[in-house]
Amino acid sequence: MLPCISPELFLCYLFKKDFCLTSIDLFVFPPLKNVPLVKISFYYKIFKVLLTVLVLQLPVLPVFAVDPLSSDRAVFRKSSVSDILDSLVTATYFKDEYFTRSTRESEKFAFPANFIPQYSDSVYAARISALDRKTPFNLVYNEHVRGFIRIYAVDRRNMTAKILGLTKIYFPLFEEKLDAYNVPLEMKYLAIVESALNPTAVSSAGAKGLWQFMYGTGRMYGLQSSSFIEDRYDPEKATVAASRHLRDLYNIYGDWFLALAAYNSGPGNVNKAIRRAGGVKNYWAIWDYLPAETRGYVPAFIAVNYIMSYYNEHNIRPVEPGFLYKDIDTLRTSRMLSFDQINETIGVPMRDLQFLNPQYKLGIIPSDATGNVLRLPRKYISQFQRREQEIYAYKSPKTIEREQLLARVESLNSAFNSPNSATGKAEKIHVVQQGESLGSIARLYRTYISQLIVWNSLKDADVTPGQKLVVFGGNDSNAASGSDNTGNSSKRSSSGKKIVLRHKVKKGETLSSISRKYGITVDRISELNRLKGRRITPGQQIKVEREVDAVVSNPVRHGSRRTRIEKVQKNKKSKAVKKAPSKRRKKR
């Protein structure tokens, strides 16, 4: 009530008395002296209605997002959750064109599309308490949990919408494997904290996949890492390994939150924190003694539990990927197979093959007697089974191009290495380095740009770093080739001695090209020059080593460039001798 309205006025209003104001009321609020009672009653009635509505709506009144408390920032700035969600922006399969908004989901929301609701602490606490009654986890609400709720519900809500769509692909698989190892099904939310359901996520520490396994831990649970396969990217194998690992950690600590902490920072850090806390096996009791990232790990897990259950109340509308779990089927293949063959025979989109089979790093499924798993959209399964032999026999344009290159190399190699060959130059494969051009490569192998173009069937003189070129020039060292800079043919015999020379770096040269030129290793050049990295700049003087060769010159061919130069020099000398006496006579 307003301070100027007395209890008598309130009772008067209720019982419609004729006079309700006392002298005390008029003294407290003089402007009421000349105001009619009817008007005061009308104003009070409006105020009473508005106040009642405000009191009833206050606990659940949605408001737009405001900056969180500075203490909250200090907590979740130490966590990698924001970084993981931000990294999804550049992930290929997380781009908007791969997702569609469900029309059925949009019917559940009572807010405008762009509205961002938030709630009071009492509402968050009540909702998390309701979740706690349904789970073996001890879910609590505090300022740390509130900070992570803001990340998922406000700051990164667009990414959360995509994660909600991806749960329809991965959660059925997670629940099946977790249940098989008697791990609470709520542990499926851990994959969101770890990788945001990005199957090819890689942390700064080298952890990989949906469940972010380090190499050593992955090997302990049977995850293979090779040139062709990375099992940490395999959703099924990684989920089985994570279920086993979490069960083992729970058997050690007897507490799921401590198991989570050990999963994140390792049992060693958790054991140390327990000792410093006096031997208490409780996550919140050892919280101060855990690494910074692990202190935000369990609060983030609680926040994800909350968001996945109450996303409707936060007006987060899931967007679904191109297909769901029920739209995916699995095959086994024991023969080598490439994604190109599948894509070009039965038309499975390359992005779908890469997303469903992220464990095959090079897009090649290696042969295996036990068979390797291949996941495809269900609509392509019957086509694959019907045309399987055709798919194996098919050669993609890239495969044909590789075979043609190999055939050309073999034919050129046999031609250049044949007894009748006058050149005797060996075939090599040169990998184009950063900053190299066709001209610099031609100089390196003492050949012509036109020859490089012919040998490699190039359309123009443009090359890109990493491109492989067939070259024929020089010997293995490129520096001790059979021809010197003047074009003289010579025979070299190594004396076993090495001398140190100075080389001025030219534009486009790299340590690799210089090492090939002088026949030494890059490490030796770095050692001679005490280089910390591999970066060099044009004009820089660097030391290089070279073997001293005993050179036995062959007779110079008639008509060579050197012969012509010597003839010109002799002619000049003879003309100078003839002119000299005449000059003396003139002086006399």
The neighbouring-strand residues paired with 541 are 504
| 517 token code pair | 């030129």
Instruction: Give the torsion through C-alpha atoms of 429, 435, 441, 442, to 10 deg.
Output: 150
CA contacts within 13 A on the Cβ side of 73: 5
> Which residues 6+ apart lie within 8 Å of 104 measured at CB?
none
Cα–Cα separations (whole angstroms), residue 3 to 18, 21, 24, 25, 552 = 21, 13, 11, 9, 117
Residue 410 is a catalytic residue = no
Reading phi first (left if > 0) and then psi (alpha if -120 to 50, else beta), residue 217 is in alpha
The CA distance from 53 to 366, in Å, is 68
Q: What is the DSSP string of 312-366?
A: TTTT---EEESS-GGGEEEEEE-S-EEHHHHHHHH---HHHHHHH-TTBTTSEE-
The CA distance from 201 to 427, in Å, is 41
The CA distance from 165 to 320, in Å, is 4
The CA distance from 339 to 145, in Å, is 43
Give exposure, 454-473, as e/b (b: 16+ Cβ within 10 Å). Answer: ebbeeeeeebeeeeebbbbb
Instruction: Give the torsion through C-alpha atoms of 485, 488, 491, 496, to 10 deg.
Output: -30
491 phi and psi, to 5 degrees? -110, 135
Element containing residue 101 per DSSP (H, E): strand 99-101
Residue 547: CB atoms within 10 Å: 17
The CA distance from 328 to 377, in Å, is 5
Short-list 136, 140, 234, 237, CA closest to 186? 136
| 420 token code pair | 């009748």
Residue 549: CB atoms within 10 Å: 16
Task: Give Cα 525 to chain centroid, integer Å.
Answer: 33
Instruction: Give the torsion through C-alpha atoms of 212, 217, 220, 222, to 10 deg.
Output: 20
Element containing residue 373 per DSSP (H, E): strand 372-377
Residue 304: CB atoms within 10 Å: 25
The CA distance from 207 to 266, in Å, is 13
Residue carrying structure tokens 């395999």: 234
The CA distance from 225 to 373, in Å, is 15
What's the one-letter identity of residue 101? R
Per annotation, catalytic residue among 105, 186, 194, 427: 194
Catalytic residues: 194
